Amino acid sequence: MANTPLQLLALAVALSTAGAHATPLVEKDGSYAQVPLEKDKVVIKVVQNLTRNLQDFPTIEQGLAHNLQQMTDLTERACSEGRKPDFILFNEFPLTGYSDGKREEKLKFTIQIPGAETEALGKLAKQCDTYIIFGSYARDAAWPGHILSLNTVIGRDGEVAEKFWKTRNVKNYQPDMEIPTTTIENVYDKYVAMYGEEALFPVLRTEYGNIAVSTVQRDTMVFAAYAMRGVEIMFRTSTLFSKLDVMATASFNNYYSAMSNITFPADSPWAKMGGGSIIVNPRGEILAEDPSNDEAIIEAEIDIAALRKGRKIPDYPMDVTRPVLAQYQPAFPLNHLDVPVDQLPDNGAEMKVLMDKVSRWKTTE
């Protein structure tokens, strides 16, 4: 978390030009748009479970059927045990898992949203009268050749209420590869042209509070931007995560947050990083947690009405930090994946080559 002050300051500069934009993104008086609450307190349930990769099944259809049935069973369990949920949060890849291969092959291990899977989950959401939230690798005809990482919210009516693109990928995650999925950052101009600036940090205003969903890790600028847009509950999906990140981010931005992590086989080298899903309050205090690497469903009731009473968006130090951040140059430029389909990197190694090529922070030998 050592770079948190710098990230927050960079966000201040980035948003300081909002007044020049056609669409108002942040209210100048600290208020934010809401819809009336249906009730004062809501129940969040977070599912953590082992996800199987589609690549490991004889056919993709069998894999999707297996993983969808697992989600179905866990949703029905969440709806029948304990308090009735208002939100059920799954992890980053409950339907697809993570599969290796070149781009053309990996595109086969994605889903379309909306599609058959969201239709089936929509029936469950309607039956349980709950929102269902999950992440997935996805494909979209509007983005041929691109592998998207989307977080989907299915509403109580069974319909897809919102799709949240991943804002950006972590960089320098491994020395010989970079994540090749497409994010808002690496197709920024085209994304804004297609969906508008409001879609950079979309907020779903529900009768249970203002929500957003993200798979981003350790990136306080992104989560502060969501706070400025009026988020009250920040849902997060993960494959590995830092508990400190979730707790600190909720505290910095004065909102509730929940993280769903996957579990790993007991003999996996990643087993110690599995599970640990949490729900935290706006002070960063843990309301519910399962520290194990086992399948589990945790729950917490949150007082959304009490949070909303008299609440303003956080007060960030924009003016005093502007001179420093106006000179800050990110290592990687926007739009580095806005290239012809046949030029998209085929895998993580090729993505590493591309990122090294476009980096503004190149080191000289």
* Residues 50 and 66 sit within 8 Å (Cβ to Cβ): no
| DSSP string for 287-301 | EEE--SSS-EEEEEE
Average pLDDT over residues 143-161: 98
Per-residue pLDDT, 104: 95
Please give the model's pTM, rounded to 2 decimal places.
Answer: 0.93
For residue 184, the model assigns a pLDDT of 98
Residue with more model confidence, 195 or 5: 195
CA-closest candidate to residue 249, choices 230, 234, 260, 237: 234
Task: Evaluate whether 316 touches 224 at the Cβ level (below 8 Å).
Answer: yes
Report the share of the chain in percent with pLDDT over 70: 93
Summarize the confidence of residues 258-263 as an average pLDDT: 96
Q: Domains plus CATH for the chain?
A: 40-358 (3.60.110.10)
Does residue 247 register a pLDDT over 90?
yes
State how far the Cα of 44 lies from the Cα of 236, in Å rounded to an integer: 12
| Bridge partners, residue 203, by sequence | none
For residues 132 and 114, is the Cβ–Cβ distance under 8 A? Answer: no
Residues 301, 126: Cα–Cα separation, whole Å: 21
Length of the chain measured in residues: 365
Distance CA 277, CA 267 (A): 20
Query: pLDDT tens digits, residue range 97-127?
Result: 998 899 999 999 999 999 999 999 999 999 9
β pairing state of 41-48 and 87-89: parallel
Tens digit of each residue's pLDDT (9 = 90 or more) over 283-330: 999 999 999 999 999 999 999 999 999 999 999 999 999 999 899 999
Name the residue type at position 72.
Answer: T
What per-residue confidence (pLDDT) applies to 19?
A: 43
Model pLDDT, residue 240: 84
Question: Exposed (0-12), middle (13-18) or buried (19+): which is 348, by Cβ within 10 Å?
Answer: middle
Which tops the pLDDT comparison, 46 or 240?
A: 46
Query: Residue 100's pLDDT is what?
Result: 87
Q: Where would I find the H helices in 81-212?
A: 103-106, 116-128, 188-195
How many C-alpha atoms does 39 have within 13 Å on its Cβ side?
6
The answer to whether 197 and 21 have CB atoms below 8 angstroms apart is: yes
The pLDDT mean for the chain works out to: 93
Residue 132 host element (H or E): strand 131-138
Chain centroid to CA 101:
24
pLDDT, one tens digit per residue, over 1-37 is 444 544 454 554 554 444 455 689 999 999 999 999 9
Instruction: Output the six-digit token pair for 279.
Output: 């729900």
Q: Beta strand pairing status for 233-238 and 256-261?
A: parallel
Amino acid in position 291:
P
